[in-house]
Structure formats: C-alpha cells, structure tokens
Amino acid sequence: MKILVTYDMFREGFTELESKYEVTLPEGRDFTYEEVFEMIPEYDVLCSMLDFPVNKELIDHAPKLRLIANYGVGYNNIDVAYALEKGLTVANTPDPVTAPTANLALGLMLDTARRITECDRKLRTLGKDMKIGMLENLGMPVTGQTLGIIGMGRIGKALAKRANALGMDVIYHKRRQLCIDDETKLNVTYVSKEELLAKADFVSLNAPYTPDTYHIIGEEELKLMKPSAILINTARGPLVDEHALVKALREGTIHGAGLDVFEFGDYPLPELLEMDNVVLTPHIGTQTTETRIIMARTVCNNVIGFLEGDRPVSRVLRP
C-alpha cells in the first residue's frame, strides 16, 4: 500500500501510519499540484487538504487510488460526486475541527464587538495620541444580544453552547430543522433565513461550501441585516459576496465583520484592510499545535480504518 500526503505536517501525527505503510510526505513545504499529478498513478491512498484540488483530471490519472482522506471537515476541494462515481471512498476529519473553530468564531464576535484588535492597534500605532476616555472606543454588548447561526452542524452547535453561556439568545437557520429535543437541549430557535438576518445582532456562518451556499450572504441579505449587526465567517470565503460586504460596511448597511476566510483565496480584498470595524484572520480556525496533530491522527485513523477495518472511518457520503 502506498500513501501520498500532499501537505507538510508535524511528523508525530503520522507515526502510526508510517509504521505500517509506505508513506510519502513533503518536508518544509507542501507538494504542488504538478508534483502530485506526476506521482499519483503509483498510490493507493491520497491524503489531501483543504486548498488542494482533487479534481476529475487527477482522479482519472490515479488508477490505483481507493481512498481520498482529506485533512479538515470541509471537502469542497474534492470533486466528491466524481470520486464516489468512480467507486472511491472520501473521508474527512470533523471531530477535532469543531471546538477550535467555534472558539475562533466566538473570539471574532467578541473582538469585533468590543474593538479589541482595533484598540490594540491604535495603542501601538498612535501611542499617547490615541484618544482614551469614558466615551471613547465604545463597543457593542454581547450578553443579552441575539446570535443568528446559519448552518447548525457540529460547529454551529458548539458555537450555540458558547453563546448560551454568555447569555445570548440563539436563533438558527439550516436546510433541515433540528428535532425538538436537540433544539431544547441547545436552547436554540429555528427561523427562516430572512427572519434570522432581520433579528440577529451577530450572524455567524457555519455552513459547508456547496453550490447552494455560494454567496449565501450577498447584497440583498446584507440589506436585511440590522445596521448594528456584525457578520462572522469562519466557514469558507465564497459564502459571502466580498465586494457586496465591502460596500455594506462602507455605507453602514451593517456595522462590522469578523472574517477568518476570504472569497478570493488567502487574502481579503484590500478595502477590508483599511476598515477598523473589521477583524481579519488568515484561516486559523484549527491553527493550534494540538489540533494540527489530532487532525493528522484522525486522517491516519481514517486511512487505517479503511484499509484494515479495525476502527471507524468518517466517510463523506454525498457531495
């Protein structure tokens, strides 16, 4: 069995896999698409990650391939429909992603509302010229406010628990409403997308990126939001029409945004960098040492479980 890993990773995450199989891992950098394309015909398993495209062309060039084990909960980098049609198994790593991503969403909410990064930046850059006083740097309350979560999967639920602990009201929207038991346990109320946008003080996107969720927040949706509302995106950039967001922030259609992901790749539109009411992080939702290692171990568990049947595999069942 030959296993190809496309990304550079803490080696300890792959110890068990390396003790059992022939594993090719890059060092100090990720493999390029061209390198993987060249190597893939020899491999049985491909361990990919979120920004590595596993497309038809690559799958068609991989006669031995049986498993695509993605690093991450999201799998929009993979042509899942085609992979499944070709009889391949696709796996992902939802468990270790949940808590750190919900924590970052909460961090962006608090930061944007209470202007933490903005104040830090002003203290550093303006020093004693920064205006300080009882009526300066006023923020938004968080406790007692309404959080609207779009996409109530694992991360949405984890965020709802955190928001409840802060004394927030939580409303949510997703394709299928949760059962009453889950809603009661989580203390959340199902509403239409329109009602959510109109009522929420914070709107958090926690849905996967699919053709249905592309630009789930665009000009129309931003207009439905309160002028005091804050948009949080820790899911995938293309869920938000970033040009429309820039316009809405400029014109005061909404108050602020906390973004960990951007529509056009690794960096935000330059206009966002100029705005004090926006907090930006470069896709760090799972960026802790522990999470990196646990996610790698989860990838290995998926691979070993698939090859040996001795442990559960987190299978992606549909695109």
* Angle (nearest 5°) at CA 199 between 193 and 204: 60
Comparison of 74 and 151: residue with beta carbon closer to ligand GLV: 74
Please, what is the minimum distance in Å from the beta carbon of residue 50 to ligand GLV? 5
- Tell which positions 84-103 bind ligand GLV, by CB under 6 A: 97
Nearest CA-CA partner of 1 in 312, 311, 306, 316: 306
Three-state SS for 315? strand
Position 285 contacts ligand GLV (CB under 6 A): yes
* Angle (nearest 5°) at CA 161 between 160 and 162: 90
Comparison of 47 and 248: residue with beta carbon closer to ligand GLV: 47
Binding piece for ligand GLV, criterion CB under 6 A, among 72-80, 127-135, 178-186, 303-311:
72-80
Please say whether the beta carbons of 79 and 55 come within 8 A: yes
Binding piece for ligand GLV, criterion CB under 6 A, among 16-24, 67-75, 105-113, 137-145:
67-75
Please, what is the minimum distance in Å from the beta carbon of residue 153 to ligand GLV? 12
Position 74 contacts ligand GLV (CB under 6 A): yes
Comparison of 72 and 148: residue with beta carbon closer to ligand GLV: 72
Position 156 contacts ligand GLV (CB under 6 A): no
CA–CA separation, 91 vs 75, rounded Å? 9
Residue choice 3, 40, 45, 73 for contact with ligand GLV (CB under 6 A): 73
- Go through 66-102 and write b for each residue having 16 or more CB atoms within 10 A of its CB, e for each that does not: bbbbbbbbbbbbbbbeebbeeebbbbbbeebbbbbbb
Comparison of 247 and 315: residue with beta carbon closer to ligand GLV: 315
Please, what is the minimum distance in Å from the beta carbon of residue 60 to ligand GLV? 25
Please, what is the minimum distance in Å from the beta carbon of residue 72 to ligand GLV? 3
CA–CA separation, 307 vs 230, rounded Å? 46
Count of residues interacting with ligand GLV (CB under 6 A):
7
DSSP class of 216: S
List C-alpha distances in Å: 79 to 40, 84, 92, 123, 240.
16, 9, 14, 47, 22
Comparison of 146 and 213: residue with beta carbon closer to ligand GLV: 213
Binding piece for ligand GLV, criterion CB under 6 A, among 6-14, 69-77, 167-175, 245-253:
69-77
- Tell which positions 27-66 bind ligand GLV, by CB under 6 A: 50
DSSP class of 50: T
C-alpha count within 13 angstroms, C-beta hemisphere, residue 232: 28
Position 207 contacts ligand GLV (CB under 6 A): no
Comparison of 49 and 254: residue with beta carbon closer to ligand GLV: 49
Binding piece for ligand GLV, criterion CB under 6 A, among 37-45, 68-76, 134-142, 306-314:
68-76
Residue choice 40, 43, 72, 316 for contact with ligand GLV (CB under 6 A): 72
- Largest Cα separation within the chain, whole Å, is 67
- Compute the CA torsion angle 103, 105, 109, 114 (nearest 10 deg): 50
Both tokens assigned to 301:
């568990």
Three-state SS for 259? strand
Position 258 contacts ligand GLV (CB under 6 A): no
Please, what is the minimum distance in Å from the beta carbon of residue 73 to ligand GLV? 4
Residue choice 77, 286, 302, 314 for contact with ligand GLV (CB under 6 A): 286
**Which residues bind to ligand GLV, rule: CB under 6 A?**
50, 72-74, 97, 285-286
